[in-house]
């Protein structure tokens, strides 16, 4: 019989938030795979438990190489416990590769639910929580970051991001540029820790605040785009949105589909608007070229 892969949530700050089952799983697992074995040691000491099984590291640098080893352990009947530094494995942390490989081998995968910075920040933000999407970390390079933000500029669901404190001011400034300075947001810092802080306001206001320097673990929650309704988006605006996406490197077919979905109109309507705009542009160019030729033909010869 195959073993079981257990994904265990760990505290994002206060160790007292550890799920009750975590200590039992740490004590009973055949293998404990930890993102940072030193942090695992501090956690087990705080919980008053000693892992009986083998402890191995499982982090971004060795994830690809160690996954096959752990899958073989699972296939042989072992109970493997996966823990990351904070929160749930696989959520912007190592784990996805192991889960996918275990599922492919027919291994049972279960979880010890625990704290989540995504849901905690969302609940504390004061922004709509009925529909949301998690975007993880944005690219570090400015151009790539702007491109990613433009992709969700018309997203109506609440957006949740992770960010490093030294990049927070640049990220909020980029969000204010793409989403608008008045778009509501919340910066959640050091959740469940001693210096927990939730700063709410417009993106422009938050960017100015962050420019002074911010420390700690950061989660940013951003209000979704207002629902303008399909009737408010005219053909010219549809064409503009498609061109913005094309300039960012998206193929026309995908750009048309995305704009249609965001605007709540049929793809054919967006396609026809793009074609009509292109035909009008070509006709205008041809007219200008003909006028230029006529002007040159009718101008008096020199000499």
- CA-CA distance, 67 to 59, in Å (whole number)? 10
Res 26: pLDDT: 97
Residue pLDDT, tens place only, 53-79: 999 999 999 999 999 999 999 999 999
pLDDT(303) > 50: no
List the domain range (segments joined by +) for residue 200: 118-222
Tokens 């989540």 locate to 116
Task: Name which residue leads in pLDDT, 158 or 91.
Answer: 158
Res 70: pLDDT: 97
**Is there a domain that residue 63 lies in?**
yes
pTM of structure: 0.72
Give the pLDDT band of residue 302 (cuts 50, 70, 90): low
Domain end marker among 175, 199, 222 = 222
Helices 168-179 and 142-151 sit at what angle, rounded to 10 degrees? 40
Rounded mean pLDDT, 230-257: 84
Quick one: 9 and 107 in the same domain?
Answer: yes
Res 228: pLDDT: 62
Tell me if residue 280 falls in helix, strand or coil: helix
Quick one: 49 and 22 in the same domain?
Answer: yes
Strands (E), 72-224: 79-83, 108-112, 132-137, 158-163, 184-189, 197-202, 218-222
In this structure, the chain runs to a length of: 303
Which CATH number does the domain housing residue 104 bear? 3.40.1010.10
pLDDT(232) > 90: no
- CA-CA distance, 57 to 66, in Å (whole number)? 9
Domains of the chain: total: 3
Res 187: pLDDT: 98
Domain end marker among 115, 132, 163 = 115
Which CATH number does the domain housing residue 186 bear? 3.30.950.10
Q: Are 13 and 196 in contact (CB under 8 A)?
A: yes
**Is there a domain that residue 302 lies in?**
no
Quick one: 175 and 208 in the same domain?
Answer: yes
């Amino acid at each position: 019989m195959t073993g079981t892969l257990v994904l265990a949530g760990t505290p994002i700050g206060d160790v007292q938030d550890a799920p009750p089952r975590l200590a039992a799983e740490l004590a009973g697992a055949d293998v404990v795979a930890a993102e940072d074995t030193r942090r695992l040691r501090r956690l087990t000491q705080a919980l008053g438990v000693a892992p009986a099984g083998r402890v191995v590291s499982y982090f971004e640098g060795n994830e690809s190489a160690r996954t096959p080893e752990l899958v073989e352990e699972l296939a042989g009947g072992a109970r493997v416990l996966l823990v990351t530094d904070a929160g749930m494995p696989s959520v912007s942390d190592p784990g996805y590769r192991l889960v996918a490989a275990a599922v492919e081998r027919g291994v049972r995968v279960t979880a010890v639910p625990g704290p989540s910075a995504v849901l905690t920040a969302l609940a504390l933000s004061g922004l709509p929580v009925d529909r949301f999407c998690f975007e993880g970390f944005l690219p570090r390079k400015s151009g790539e970051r702007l491109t990613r933000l433009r992709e969700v500029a018309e997203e109506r669901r609440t957006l949740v991001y992770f960010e490093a404190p030294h990049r927070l001011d640049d990220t909020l400034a980029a969000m204010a540029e793409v989403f608008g300075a008045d778009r509501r947001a919340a910066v959640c810092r050091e959740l469940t820790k001693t210096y927990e802080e939730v700063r709410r306001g417009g993106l422009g206001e938050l960017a100015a605040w962050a420019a002074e320097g911010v420390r700690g673990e950061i989660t940013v929650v951003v209000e979704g785009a207002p629902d303008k309704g399909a009737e408010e988006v005219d053909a010219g605006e549809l064409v503009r949105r498609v061109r913005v996406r094309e300039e960012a490197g998206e193929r026309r077919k995908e750009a048309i589909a995305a704009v249609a979905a965001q605007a709540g109109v049929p793809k054919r309507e967006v396609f026809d608007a793009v074609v009509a705009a292109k035909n009008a542009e070509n006709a205008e160019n041809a007219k200008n070229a003909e006028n230029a030729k006529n002007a040159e033909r009718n101008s008096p010869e020199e000499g």
